[in-house]
Amino acid sequence: MLMKALRYVEIGKPPVVVDIPIPKPGPGQVLLKITAGGVCHSDDYVMGLPEKDYHEQGYPLPLTLGHEGAGIVHEIGEGVDSTLKVGDAVAVYGPWGCGRCHNCSMGKENYCTNAAAEGIRPPGLGSQGSMAEYMIVDDARHLVPLGDLDPVQNVSLTDAGLTPYHAIKNSLPKLGAGTVAVVIGTGGLGHVGIQILKAISGATVIALDVNDEKLKLATEVGADHVLISDASAAEKIRELTGGLGANAVFDFVGANPTIALAQSVAALEADITIVGIGGGSMTLGFGSIAYDAAVRIPYWGSRAELIEVLDLARAGKIHVQTESYTLDDGPKAYEDLASNSIRGRAVIVP
């Protein structure tokens, strides 16, 4: 039996839709019938890697894309020790780990200390991903109940929700009433990040982007101020904060100009969190940043945090703005991502 899958098959070429056999779940594995798969800018980063780096970083070819996934449990492999039943609606927790190390035992599989050595890779980022009609999940532990949440509407919470949630939660002690948070980049992750800040912190949110449409969306989802991200932005943030700067900056771009902006507007004791993988870097030394500011580079989030993000959605406090594409239109979703014309998050619906 064959299924459609959106795969990256040739370095430097766009992904293509192909027919491949429906996989069989091996011992301990679960086969999902996919209901939705989200399109992340990181996929574009991976497909933009030069051949040498792509292989050195352990990505296989062909690679079925998709590290945001939701589905219905279709078949359960031998020996799966779980209450999971065929027909259950689930979301995939993507940062797969070993399940045994200290971090994994705390649910922080995003920081598994064995994954690299054991070749454990997230779906769509090394293992075969969610942009197909069916997908293998390596362990029932990596499935979280979706319940009555609509999969298309909520699949992106597994990354575009979880990643900003994890980043923001770490800085919550600095984001009480009267504080200011800056969000740079109001695309897939950023527009959810703004909502999470409004839902769980007391901060006033200043959002920045280079694109007017994205700033409109930022306002719609609750940003208190929006600014074009250019050379004048730092000065405007200083004005908006009475000269003090921001208590936390979340950079969902991570390029040199945005990192420099984050560094220059960080207040005393602020947190700067660089989430975007835009290739930028920061030079630090005495006098180059406000006293006691801290810089953090997080990766994805924990399993518990995914459950919390889904709960926020269930409570109606966050909502992903989505644009749907069929699997056949999958390559178009990546074209639209590259031309920066997606409002919110693109979701592939097989």
**Site of interaction with ligand NAD (CB under 6 A):** 40-42, 45, 159, 163, 184-190, 208-211, 214, 229, 252-255, 257-258, 275-278, 298-300, 337, 340
What is the C-alpha separation between 208 and 183, in angstroms, rounded?
Answer: 6
The distance of closest approach from Cβ of residue 258 to ligand NAD in the complex, given in angstroms and rounded to an integer, is 5
Query: d(Cα 111, Cα 120) in Å, to the nearest integer?
Result: 12
With CB under 5 to 8 Å by kind, the binding choice for 97 among ligand NAD, Zn ion, none is Zn ion
* Footprint on residues 150-169 left by Zn ion (CB under 5 A): 159
Is residue 98 part of the contact set for Zn ion (CB under 5 A)? yes
Give the one entry of Zn ion, ligand NAD, none that residue 244 binds, where binding means its C-beta sits below a cut-off of 5 to 8 angstroms depending on kind.
none
The interface region with Zn ion, picked from 93-101, 257-265, 304-312, 326-334 by CB under 5 A, is 93-101
Q: Is 97 in the site for Zn ion (CB under 5 A)?
A: yes
Write down the least CB distance from residue 39 to ligand NAD, Å.
8
The residue type found at 234 is A
CA separation (Å) from 165 to 103, 198, 270, 309, 347? 18, 12, 18, 7, 20
Contact of residue 114 among Zn ion, ligand NAD, none (CB under 5-8 Å per partner type): Zn ion
Q: How far is the CB of 31 from ligand NAD (least distance, A)?
A: 26
Whose Cβ is closer to ligand NAD: residue 11's or residue 210's? 210
Nearer to ligand NAD, 64 or 163 (CB): 163
Among Zn ion, ligand NAD, none, residue 171 binds (CB under 5-8 Å by kind): none
Instruction: Decide: 98 and 34 in contact? Cβ < 8 Å.
Output: no
Output the smallest distance, CB 144 to ligand NAD, in A: 17
Task: Give the Cα separation of 149 and 140 in Å (integer).
Answer: 19
What does the alpha-carbon distance between residue 114 and residue 100 come to, in Å, rounded to a whole number?
9
Q: Please say which residue, 25 or 38, places its beta carbon nearer to ligand NAD.
A: 38
CA-to-CA distance for 250 and 164, rounded, in angstroms?
8
Tally: H helices and E strands in the chain: 12, 16
Q: Are strands 266-274 and 89-92 parallel, antiparallel or unpaired?
A: unpaired
State the minimum distance, in angstroms, from the CB of residue 100 to Zn ion: 6
Phi then psi dihedrals of residue 92, to 5 deg? -90, 125
| Shortest separation between residue 158's beta carbon and Zn ion, angstroms | 9
* Site of tokens 């035992």: 105
What's the CA gap between 114 and 131, in Å, rounded? Answer: 26
DSSP state of 23: P
- The least distance separating ligand NAD from the CB of residue 54, rounded to whole angstroms, comes to 15
d(C-alpha 160, C-alpha 68), whole Å: 8
- The site string for Zn ion over 110-139 (x = CB under 5 A, - otherwise) reads --x-x-------------------------
- Distance separating alpha carbons of residues 157 and 125, to the nearest angstrom: 17
Binding stretches for Zn ion (CB under 5 A):
40, 42, 97-98, 101, 104, 112, 114, 159
